[in-house]
Amino acid sequence: MRTNLRITAAATTALIAALSLSACGSDSGSKESDKAASKPSASAPATAGTDGGGQGATTGGDTAGTTGGTGGTSGGTGGSGGSGSTSGGHGTAKPAKSNGKQSGGQSGSGSSKRVTCTGSNVKLTATVVSRPINHVLLTATNIGKTTCNAYDAPAVKFSNAQSPIPVDKDTIPQSVVTLAPGQSAYAMIRTQGEPDGTDPYMTSQVVVYFRGAVGMESVGRSAYASLAKPVGVVDAQAMATYWQSDMGAISAW
């Protein structure tokens, strides 16, 4: 009987010990699990994609997009940082150096020097025309090497006249007649009008004085032209036109 009680007591003691060990193991495992849960996971590295993209957006313009390119997958490709290179402050081209010339390759100092047409640089010819009658055509050709301006109207004197003949102001051209070397200006002279009982005098030479840009005074050398045949002149009826660049403007004057 005592032997059975001892066996029973021993079994009970072993059972209690086993239950205690089981409880301790469970408690210890719970503590280990809590510690493991409290530690950060080393297998989840922080991504720099968002921050990299942000830097590219804010600094791309100043550094031509190089900082933005170092961002994460979203910041490095297609992000605002990548596009910053188009507006970077260091991406502008240097202005071309000025060579001191105007457009077209001409020098800024200008090369269109002009002088006044006078007897020194023009050749004068005088031709009697058939229509209208009693008219003489003057042609002044630039024989110099520089462009000249034929100002106003020729101051015409025939061989026996005391003063130049009047000028028809209705023939004023729209602009100054400019003659490059080899070009010509034209003027028409009426030697006499309707008969009024005044006898004309005959002459075969025309003297022309040239006017300058200011005033009606003659400048430079005069020019002489001989006619192929004498013409009759009445000073009170004679008149001249202004210089023209187109002979057609005075052909029917």
What residues does each domain of the chain span? 114-249
The answer to whether residue 85 scores a pLDDT higher than 50 is: no
The answer to whether residue 8 scores a pLDDT higher than 70 is: no
pLDDT band at 150 (very low <50, low <70, confident <90, very high): very high
- pLDDT tens per residue, range 161-193: 778 899 999 999 999 999 999 999 999 999 998
The answer to whether residue 100 scores a pLDDT higher than 80 is: no
Predicted local distance difference test score (pLDDT) of residue 136: 97
Predicted local distance difference test score (pLDDT) of residue 235: 87
Predicted local distance difference test score (pLDDT) of residue 9: 53
Q: What does the H/E/C string look like for 101-117?
A: ECCCCCECCCCCCEEEC
Q: How far apart are CA 52 and CA 66, in angstroms?
A: 11
- pLDDT tens per residue, range 19-56: 554 444 444 444 444 444 444 444 444 444 344 444 43
- Residue 142 bridge partners (DSSP): 122
Q: What does the H/E/C string look like for the chain?
A: CHHHHHHHHHHHHHHHHHHHHHHHHHHHHHHHHHHHHHCCCCCCCCCCHHHHHHHHHHHCCCCCCCCHHHCCHHHHCCCHHHHHHHHCCCCCCCCCCCCCECCCCCECCCCCCEEECCCCCEEEEEEEECCCCCEEEEEEEECCCCEEEEEEEEEEEECCCCCCCCECHHHCCCCCEEECCCCEEEEEEECCCCCCCCCCEEEEEEEEEEECCCCCCEEEEEEEEEEEEEEEECCCCCEECCCECCHHHCCCC
Contact of 237 with 201, CB cutoff 8 Å: no
User: Which of 82-91, 122-131, 143-152 shows the lowest per-residue confidence on average (mean pLDDT)?
Assistant: 82-91
Q: How far apart are CA 247 and CA 43, in angstroms?
A: 101
Q: How far apart are CA 127 and CA 155, in angstroms?
A: 17
Higher-scoring residue by pLDDT: 31, 141? 141
Q: How far apart are CA 224 and CA 156, in angstroms?
A: 10
Which residues touch 109 (CB under 8 Å, ≥6 apart)? none
Predicted local distance difference test score (pLDDT) of residue 158: 85
Predicted local distance difference test score (pLDDT) of residue 15: 52
Mean pLDDT across 2-8: 47
Model-level pTM greater than 0.75? no
| CATH domain 114-249 topology | Immunoglobulin-like (2.60.40)
Tell which residue, 218, 122, 212, 222, has the closest CA to residue 176: 212
pLDDT band at 196 (very low <50, low <70, confident <90, very high): confident
